[in-house]
Structure 1
């Protein structure tokens, strides 16, 4: 379905985007079984009980549970109305629905949803990921992925806010429709058990080699890093025991990044796991998650013994130079594209 872009984006089949906020306020009630929810419009997206103040970290089970709430409540599609339930208050269009499901602080639209997501291969889609299309001056839509309807993985089962006159629902897309969309993943999705992975410490001064039979907190860290990379280490979250399932997940990750598939988490595998993520240039004075990943991976790669605090200071600069020199890179102390590439390849 094609759409035109004027002062706001007009709704049509398979389209839901951000439009100018309305000025009038109305309220009705939608009830499904024991569930009662308020549908309202307002000049802004006011905070309500249960509405997150920051983008949440959620398991896939959390995401699916949240998405089902709108289906159960039969929330009607609207680009101007907002729906409130126990999960907060969100705009009733496609991107508002995905924003609610992912636990975002704001109702995003297709033009800025990728700020909180990353592109993945369709072959890697898991429940709670999304199918996304944003064409300038054309079709713009996003839907939550639930499962594949066929063994060939060509027909997606999705949950979505679809178009005016419909309510939130679960639908099966045709192969031709599915093929038009890109696969994306929420950056804050927690693989495995949120209650355990969320509290596992992945920051250590040393990362010794782990083989089958190993136990302890470092095994949990490896298991959480592997599951966040998309490899299954067990249905019940990090066990702290390096079993056959963990070894197989390790082998799969090693193959993906081009390392020997030994099944052991050695220094090269640790380095690749710990440095996964975005690759912004960081250097003396930088701070944040990217610096944390640099410090962790240097502790694994060259035994730097850095305090993992996310602050890029003289000690981190010296460790970066040591790593760069030992890998044949320009030893400038700056983590740029070549240094990131080497770290994420486990060199």
Structure 2
């Protein structure tokens, strides 16, 4: 049998081989022992074990871990590409930095109160800003730009925590009880730089509860996406927690999410629930409906903003009448559902023109629909390719103007071919 060989070495700073590069990264990402890091990670030198017996042990451990990962709920489904394991090394626990800086954290600090809607809205701010991932940098609000700094920000903790300390701010719950604003946490105490990660739960994607919307800080930037329960890797090791300072519970429980009743809204209503409704609608994209306020007196602005939010969920008819019901209130208070899109400018169900069909917009066609399309393109600021203005004849100028509008929506390839379809038409006439 081959005698095990033990070779100690220190990775050269200028060596580009994979082994030295891996050792340098591991040393740089190691967490101090006082914060739960592994003592072996802080030696000045590393031991590389090359042994047949050791190799057998390590390979068995790796095989067991791989089997566990394959059996976990977060394993990719057949036919799907697996999601890369997030590379999420973390900084230490500490105060805020930069313009959002505060004093040093206090063990006796009182938890800041917040609601589920506020947690999700804070999480969305980083998604919209596309905050780059970094364990050394801090965003303008003072929070560190890694996964635990992101959750610290969303929970409004006032300090930068890490995966080894976030659990102390929450109460452990069952995954079946998860609600928007809760977190899913995996902390690896043996080596925190290996696999430790945390996400904000944004709601189930469907009734099967196999996937949820995850708000997370991972390379290269903050993202919001459908994610297997509980995560792509180490799924069985993620633990669900609820922030101790959250003031919203389950609908109908007498908490902030409980619907106050239909009688609190509509013409003649004057109460604090109307004010809160307006504040939540503004946070979800309805600011343009309010010239002033919101306030306690029910007005047309409240109705239009509510209707726009309801229509954003795909509701129609009485479900989108502009008067909040239990479902509308639940989505607003929990931060769930779709925001009011910027393209919707009125909130009235009669603001769009029915799409006449693709056949009217082809070479050689001449009809009133082409003329209407051209005039709307000019109105929206996409008429630069017209030499003498739009007319009933379909021309290359029409196609190029439609293409410009489609590209402005972020579409590419066949989705931006210059020929209007139902979605192009709906957005153009919204």
TM-score band (shorter)? 0.3 to 0.5
Which is higher, the Rg of structure 1 or of structure 2? 2
Please identify which structure carries the higher strand content.
1
* TM-score w.r.t. length of structure 1: 0.44
* TM-score w.r.t. length of structure 2: 0.36
